[in-house]
Every structure is written in structure tokens, then in C-alpha cells.
Amino acid sequence: MNSAIADIAGRIRNLEDEMEAEVRRQRAVLHADFQGRKVRFEKEVLEAQKRLKQGLLAYFREASLPIVLTAPLIYAGIAPLLLMDAFLTVYQAACFPIYGIARVKRRDCFVFDRAHLGYLNAIEKLNCAYCSYGNGVAAYFREIIGRTEQYWCPIKHARRALYAHPYYHGFTDFGDAEGYRRELEKLRRELQQTGGRQLH
């Protein structure tokens, strides 16, 4: 990675750290705290949240017909998500030890904390759990494929890659044959201990 890109990557890391610090400050304002991996609210805050919970009858009464009709299509996505989750787990268990790539900790990719919010009814909590799972599978996939790409093909594209994974900016430049040959083993070694070069 050239020095200008390394500098920008460092600034991105710093901004992400600042954003996380601001999120922690906001949580403190809302009297939310973590105990291990669980969120805890002060009793008074939780009671205030529960007063804002919408009942199921009112929730369904306000739902429009197009939303009701498309809900089964949304939830049909659970099958491919479960299959992808299972495939990724088997894939990295079988391949990563052979390549010497540190395995992705699955639990780090999934966050299920919205069930602790007192203002959500049962359907809203189910919707949140579904979205959390879907985004967790996407994060799991992105991390595994990012590490795979760093091992097999750590070359930037000729045109801008939108939504690139965090490893991408450390890849060699498109068309830089010498850089590719020089950096390939180093990029592979990075994957053995740390899981690669990440921006966050």
C-alpha cells in the first residue's frame, strides 16, 4: 500500500473510532449500558420505553395491504440466508487452515440487541431479529470473501469498486506486475495472525 493510501486508511480508522466514541456517549445519554454482550437499561428508562410500545392490533391495523402482501416474500429469504451461513462456516473450516488464513469468528459478525428495547412489540422484534441475522450473514460473507480475495487475488480493479471490503485498499495497484509479485506473500502472511489488513 503506498503511503498516501495508508495515510487515508489511517484517517478513516480514526474517524471510525471517533464515531464509536460518539455512539457510546449517546448510549450514556439514553442510560443504556452493556454487560458482556447484553444491553441493560435503567429501570425507569425501560418503563418509559414500554409506555411507547404499539399494541399488535394497532400495528396490524396501520399496516398497508402492499406491506402485508410483500412480507412473505421478505421472510422467504430466511432459507437462502441459512444455507449461505452454513456454507460459509463449512467453507472456511475446510479451506482457511489449508491456506493459513485466520478464521473469522462468526459471533463477531452478528448483533442481536434490539430485543432489549421496551418500545418494540413482538412483530417489530421479530423483524429486527430477521434484519440483524441477514446483515450478520452479509458481514460474515464479506469478511470471509475479503480474506479469500487477499489470499488469491489482492489486486485493485481498474475502475472504482463501490462498497469494497476493508482489505481492498491494501491490495496492489491494477497493472503493477512487480508490486503484485513483491507483495503477494506479505499480504498472505498478514492473514495468518490478524485476519488481514482492516480499516476498522
pTM, 2 dp:
0.77
Q: What secondary structure does DSSP assign to 173-184, as a single string?
A: PTT-HHHHHHHH
- Looking at residue 57, what is its pLDDT? 81
**Radius of gyration of the chain from Cα atoms?**
21
d(CA 174, CA 172): 7
Mean pLDDT along residues 110-137: 92
Kindly indicate the confidence band of residue 199, based on its pLDDT and cuts at 50, 70 and 90: very low
Fill in the DSSP letter of residue 200. -
pLDDT at 43 over 80: no
Q: How far apart are CA 98 and CA 91, in angstroms?
A: 11
Spatial separation of the C-alpha atoms in residues 72 and 59, rounded to whole Å: 17
- Residue 83 is predicted with a pLDDT of 98
Min mean pLDDT across 19-33, 78-92, 113-127, 133-147 is at 19-33
Would you list the DSSP string of 113-143?
A: -GGG-TT--HHHHHHHHHHHHHHHHHHHHHH
**63-81 confidence digits (pLDDT tens):** 888 988 999 999 999 999 9
Q: What is the pLDDT of residue 40?
A: 61
Percentage of the chain beyond pLDDT 70 is 82
Burial letters 25-55, b for 16+ CB under 10 A, else e: eeeeeeebeeeeeeeebeeeebeebeeeeee
